[in-house]
A and B are shown apart, each in its own frame.
Chain A
């Protein structure tokens, strides 16, 4: 019987549970909870995932050409415009007026925007000066739980 009661109490607790509280605070008999001194707020994803929030933009991926890099159709990616792109970075580049996501390859003086899916062609750019990089991709929000 005692066991059942315990489970019941646990369920009751979970029903009202929303969000991730780092330290619960309840005030009893006018004394502040000792945990209050340690309450630092919930984990802030902006703080940990974005280095420069002023220069960072969220964009959504449409298409399958980057699946080899773990970036799927419908994923959101963070783009930090303050970073200077180097060989191997995944970038958002402007191609014919469209924003396009590709891996930047600078080899032997050639610029290549490489797809990460065998079914899609790379884009070769003859001159570095013709390359227009919109920003460098730093993080992908890949949706794992797809059920409605």
Chain B
């Protein structure tokens, strides 16, 4: 792993975009620069991204917008609805750009990627700075880069880079003075490390492990016995031993979820059937695109957690006769699953369909008796093609086919234009 000729080492860089959603908004609306900006979740519910200026106002992720709205005028807080088309496009541009720096990258989430690098520590620090400059110039997004021998340490030094303006957004484990690293590790709570969530943190605290330095010093074998092999890996990674390889092959997705909050509650069983039918068909199209099939379908609905009068969370799981991607079968299953548990008059605020037990389509050839006529005709792929060309409301099965304006669609009142994916919404440049 280490010790190549010429002092070259193998390292992994974690590159992530600062306040990704807010930064995307700023690319095409530079007037947002330097101002407190938040981006809201689906349905304009709560804050999912904040600019530094919004953080300075004491705003947290998860804060409900209705509580912030009253004060927004006074504080100058600007809000935007989630613009997933824009974020998705800019994300793929960033990832493509990162691919120019290494043949091996793992896209870890919409706004972060691990990049495999080889070189001398000094060269790699330079590469880190080049990556930051390239994304800033070519896409217009600010990133931080953390370079280290392991993914866990790369996450750690990325955080160090973020919190120390003097580092100008790039931090390398190798060029960080050792006593400096130790000081930080002995100050940061153990939950500040990748893979240690709040609940696990409490268990560790009970054992006297409070900081990252405490965990680093723990015995990996003893900790594996108490927790799991994941804990052992984390400890070894903190000590510079790579245990979590870059996942460059996309693993088979384990589940597929289509779920939304409604802008106007759904209060009738017949309306809920339409919702379920649409989710089931979207799921079928996705399965067809991914060349997958599902064996288990779960359907759920729920009232708002803020509703004091009504509290209802029906759910049902359907074990399909055989793995399938057939939209007709999936729609029937989804509509049938909740048929008897939806009560007219209850205001449901959200609903969803989840497919699990996924397998590659054709991995285990179906017995002819289980292959449905619809599947043989590739209805799912066909529905997808028609929707791609003519819009999602152009075609549908059963109740979903009735293309009435859906009042349960997403509320995205403050959405910026889809600058990079819609011809009619291109950014305007002034010639005046």
Interface residues in chain A, defined as those with a beta carbon under 8 Å from any beta carbon in chain B: 52, 54-55, 57-66, 71, 73, 76-77, 81-82, 92, 94, 96-101, 115, 120, 132, 134
Contact call B426/A58, Cβ cutoff below 8 A = yes
Q: In this assembly, does B93 line the interface, its C-beta being within 8 Å of a C-beta of chain A?
A: yes
- B25-51 residues at the A interface, CB under 8 angstroms: 28-33
- B134-168 residues at the A interface, CB under 8 angstroms: 137-140
Question: Which residues of chain B come closer than 8 Å to A97, judged between CB atoms?
Answer: 29-33
Question: Which residues of chain B come closer than 8 Å to A99, judged between CB atoms?
Answer: 28, 30, 427-430
> Nearest CB to that of B29 among chain A residues?
A97
Cα distance, A101 to B426, chains bound together (Å): 15
Closest-CB distance, A139 to chain B (whole angstroms)? 14
Question: Which residues of chain A come closer than 8 Å to B31, judged between CB atoms?
Answer: 96-98
Interface residues in chain B, defined as those with a beta carbon under 8 Å from any beta carbon in chain A: 28-33, 93, 96-97, 137-140, 419-420, 426-432
Contact call A94/B139, Cβ cutoff below 8 A = no
Cα distance, A55 to B138, chains bound together (Å): 5
Contact call B430/A55, Cβ cutoff below 8 A = no
Question: Which residues of chain B come closer than 8 Å to A132, judged between CB atoms?
Answer: 30
Apart from A62-B428, A100-B430: 8 A-B pairs, beta carbons within 8 A: A60-B427, A62-B431, A76-B426, A97-B29, A100-B431, A101-B431, A115-B431, A120-B432
Contacts known (A54-B93, A54-B96, A94-B30); A81 close to B139, Cβ less than 8 A: yes
Question: Which residues of chain B come closer than 8 Å to A65, judged between CB atoms?
Answer: 431-432
Contact call A100/B429, Cβ cutoff below 8 A = yes
Contact call A62/B33, Cβ cutoff below 8 A = no
15 contacts between A and B (CB under 8 A): A55-B97, A59-B427, A60-B426, A61-B428, A61-B431, A62-B428, A65-B431, A65-B432, A71-B431, A81-B140, A82-B137, A98-B31, A99-B30, A101-B430, A101-B431
Question: Which residues of chain A come closer than 8 Å to B93, judged between CB atoms?
Answer: 54-55
> Nearest CB to that of A101 among chain B residues?
B429
Contact call A60/B137, Cβ cutoff below 8 A = no
> Nearest CB to that of B100 among chain A residues?
A54
> Nearest CB to that of A76 among chain B residues?
B426
> Nearest CB to that of B94 among chain A residues?
A54
Cα distance, A4 to B97, chains bound together (Å): 59
